[in-house]
Structure 1
Amino acid sequence: MRSVPRRRPALSGLLLALFMVLAMALPAFSGHSAPAKDKSAILVVAFGTSVPEARKSFDDMDAAVREAFPGMPVQWAFTSNIIREKLAAEGRVTDSVPVALAKLLDAGVTRLAVQSLHAIPGEEFHEKLVHVVTNFDGFKKVAIGQPLMSTDADMAAVADTLLATFGPQRAEGEALVFMGHGTHHPANIYYPGLQWYLEQRDPLALVGTVEGTPGLEWVVAKLKEKGAAKALLVPLMSVAGDHARNDMAGDEDDSWKSVLAGEGIAARPVLQGLAELAPFRALWLNHLRQAVAGLDEN
């Protein structure tokens, strides 16, 4: 009787080949279950501007942030819907805070430092930055850097920096008038608070606001009370945008420059945003450093 040939050697070879394939594939499969490596980034958030000349503030701030934190990706977002729409009509796409957060998450960022370029912690900061960021899921850690003025120490530092920066630029007897935006939000109290700190240092340094308290009428009354015949007008904002160029320095009858001139006070406007100036960028960067340090906390 003819014997049937055995197939075991072929079967053994097949099993060995299958084992080798599986062994080679194991590292790839195991990589999917391994935890993703942490990636940190910075998101700078400003109200925004549609004035081309004012963008220098943001360009300078962007360069300062990248220099201070080399190796960390830096993204930007504007909180103003109106500004983003104006820029979009010009072909310049800018992100809102939610869109910027989604892009960063999609890029694999796990730890995010968000720095505000607002002057005070008002509605734009709380509603369009803090509220959105704290309710956005997906990041392992998010830390928020405070606006320019958030504490008593901040206001004292801002008062010192304002006087050190603009004091040498004024003529003898010339008052310093800082124009803030102002708000109906309770955070408007930061402007009178800053005024108190300035008064302790220089009786000819005043703070007024476009849409809050104290207003221009108060500024005019104070300048007259102090006998000031001239004033240096400075925007108390990160950029010298529409408010600075029109409400403060414009030629219209209701601009601060024109109103002061009508009261016999010669006004000399400064068209520089605070973020264009290194001493003020340093104050914002101090807040950002605190936020970046907070990313290492569990």
Structure 2
Amino acid sequence: MIQDRPALLLAAHGAGRPQAMAGVDNVVALARAAFPHAEARLCLTAEAVRRALAKSTGAEPPPGPLLALAQLREEGFREVVVQPLHIFAGSEFMDLTALCQGLAGVQTLDPAHRPFDLLVVGRPALGQPGPRHPYLEDIERAAQALAGDVEMARAEGAALCYAGHGNKRFSTGVYQELQALMGRLYPETPCLVGALDGLLGLDHVRRGLAGLGAGKVLLVPLLLVAGGHAVRDICGQGVDSWAGALAADGLTVRCLSRGLGEVDAFARLFIDHARDAAQDAGFAL
């Protein structure tokens, strides 16, 4: 039976431990509240995370994107927004977009046999290149959503340092643009943005903090969830973690081991981008 309402598929990398999924769960809850007319569901873009989550919970995890879309198709949903819960347009976002573009481009003699009437993809939190939605405006809105972190750092007399995931296939220059906009919006609080993968790594951050003459730093994962990277690589106790390395440099380090999805102001960026994607395609969620 053809559904008379749209579907919203939220696509997250996810986390292998259920307690680390709080950031994802919060975005899903906010989306369902924002779009009560739409069918809002979750899929996980990382197969390894799905396996780890199944192992840790003993339950069936959320499906991957292809299965989730197939399920929506079989249930009669013809208008679908896929909203990535990625921070920036990296490799997982590009692969998800390619999958959706492939399905959206299927042409059949009978229109009823097409996978969907409309299948569109929203922007990640920090936006993406393109003429319709200037990505610098998206970055500025993300910086505004991080005002609570700035206030914490200011109250502690600390520099603010974000550790994003990054990647080795795409430019991580968007992190530098976020850092620049944070400096413009909050000039009284020094802010650095680095990445676990890519050019702007831990050495970049250490040099930046040394140049600032910082004695304290508030270290925050620039990640949707506080999963393995946050707990181990960023906020871990060992000297090979960011927190351990900065402490070895003589800094007083406090880690905010929290996913950005748990921050309502940041989570709502994804809600706004899903709404934009539907409106751009000519329908409403």
Q: Under a length normalisation based on structure 2, what TM-score does the superposition of the two structures give?
A: 0.87
Q: What does residue 124 of structure 2 align with?
A: 147
Q: Percent of aligned pairs with the same residue?
A: 33
- Give the total of aligned pairs: 261
Task: Give 1:107-118 correspondences, 5 Å limit.
Answer: 107-118=75-86
Letter in 1 for 2:74: D
Shift of 1:197: 1.6
**Contact 1:143/1:294 (<8 A) preserved:** no
Deviates more, 1:142-151 or 1:199-208: 199-208
* Alignment counterpart, residue 92 of structure 1, candidates 56, 59, 74: 59
What is the TM-score normalised by the length of structure 1? Answer: 0.83
Letter in 2 for 1:122: G
Q: Which residue of 2 aligns with 1:43?
A: 9
| Structure 1 unaligned blocks of 5 or more | 1-34
Structure 2 runs not aligned, ≥5 long: 107-114, 128-134
Match of 1:184 among 162, 168, 181: 168
Native 8 Å contact 2:2 2:75 kept in 1: no
For residues 145-195 of structure 1, the C-alpha deviation after alignment (integer angstroms, 9 at most, x for no partner) is: 100011111111222222x11122123430000110011122422112212
Tell me which amino acid in the other structure corresponds to 1:176: L
- Once residues 96 and 63 of structure 1 are traced to their aligned partners in structure 2, the CA distance between those partners, rounded to angstroms, is 19
Aligned to 2:33: 67
The farther-off stretch of 266-275 and 81-90 is 81-90
Q: Is the 8 A contact 2:3 2:77 kept in 1?
A: no
How do residues 114-133 of structure 1 correspond to structure 2 at under 5 angstroms?
114-127=82-95, 129-133=96-100
Give 1:233's aligned residue: 219
Distance change in 2, residues 1:293/1:58 (3 Å): same
Cα distance in 1, alignment partners of residues 227 and 280 from structure 2: 32
Matched, 1:244 2:230: yes
* Contact 2:15–2:21 under 8 Å retained in 1: yes
Question: Which whole-Å deviations, capped at 9, do the CAs of 1:81-125 have from their partners, x for residues lacking one?
Answer: 110121233433221111101000001000001111000011000
Q: 1:291 aligns with which of 267, 277, 282?
A: 277
Change (3 A) 1:57 1:37: closer
* Other-structure match for 1:102: 70
Question: Matched residues in 2 for 1:172 and 1:47: separation?
Answer: 32
SS at match of 2:194: strand
Aligned counterparts of 1:58 and 1:92: Cα–Cα separation in 2: 17
Give, in whole Å, the separation in 1 of the partners of 2:197 and 2:59: 28
The residue aligned with 2:132 is: none
Shift of 1:48: 1.2
Distance 1:253 1:172 in 2: 24
